[in-house]
Amino acid sequence: MADFVPPDFDVPLGLQTPEFVLEPLGPEHNELDYAAWTSSMDHIAATPGWQDSRWPREMTLDENRADLERHARDFAARSGFTSTVIGPSDRRDRLRLHLSRPDGVHDAVAASWVCATHAGRDAALRAVVFPLACRRVAIRADLLRRAGAAARPPEADATAV
């Protein structure tokens, strides 16, 4: 099987803007992540791309930590990239972005969800986050369109870190 990303692909480890910080999701985000998605389950389930998913589902905090450890292993192995978008000052969780292995048809599959508390910022967050994350990975166009993200360069005030 071909590599998910080219060997010379410089995986972005983050993005910082005045409005949010994007960073790889890991077990250090467990409590924040758990609170974000468990309070937004109905909203996530109604988000384009998630209607037919088996997630979100009830999980314990320990099960969530194991899931975040898996995401961190995938990121380190360059086999999948899951990032969190948090507020720069309040460190509150806002959005999750998943880039995963090919499904046999596309080069990559992208999915994201935003916390119900930030539903009004969904399109704006995705408009900045998706282009950075998808810069050199071909994303499944139908899902990207349904997510409402425009394929354009990151905003001028966004800094990759």
Is residue 4 in a domain?
no
For residue 33, what are the domain limits? 15-160
Q: What would the pLDDT profile of 99-157 be if each residue is shown by its tens digit?
A: 776 666 666 677 778 888 888 777 776 676 666 555 544 444 444 433 333 333 333 33
**Total domains, the chain:** 1
Q: Report the alpha-carbon angle 54-23-109, nearest 5.
A: 40
- Cα distance between residue 114 and residue 126, in whole Å: 9
> Model-level pTM greater than 0.85?
no
**127 assigned to some structural domain:** yes
Q: Is residue 9 part of a domain?
A: no
Closest CA to 98 of 58, 62, 44, 57: 44
Q: Is residue 46 a part of any domain in this protein? A: yes
Q: Residue 136 falls within a domain, yes or no? A: yes
CA distance readout (Å), 145 to 127, 137, 148: 11, 16, 5
Describe the strand order of the beta sheet including 159-160 as a list of residue ranges.
109-114, 93-100, 81-86, 21-24, 15-16, 159-160
pLDDT tens-place string over residues 70-101: 999 999 888 888 888 888 777 776 777 777 76
Q: What is the CATH number of the domain that holds 109?
A: 3.40.630.30
> How far is Cα of residue 124 from the mean position of the Cα atoms in its chain?
14
Place of tokens 């997510």: 147
Give the model confidence (pLDDT) of 4-46 as tens digits: 777 787 777 877 878 778 889 999 999 999 999 999 999 888 8
DSSP 156: T
- Whether residue 86 contacts residue 93, with contact meaning beta carbons closer than 8 Å, is answered with yes
Indicate whether 68 pLDDT > 90: yes
Say if 111 falls within a structural domain: yes
In a domain, 101, yes or no: yes
Distance of alpha carbon 125 from alpha carbon 119, whole angstroms: 10
- Provide the 10 A C-beta neighbour count for residue 95: 21
In a domain, 8, yes or no: no
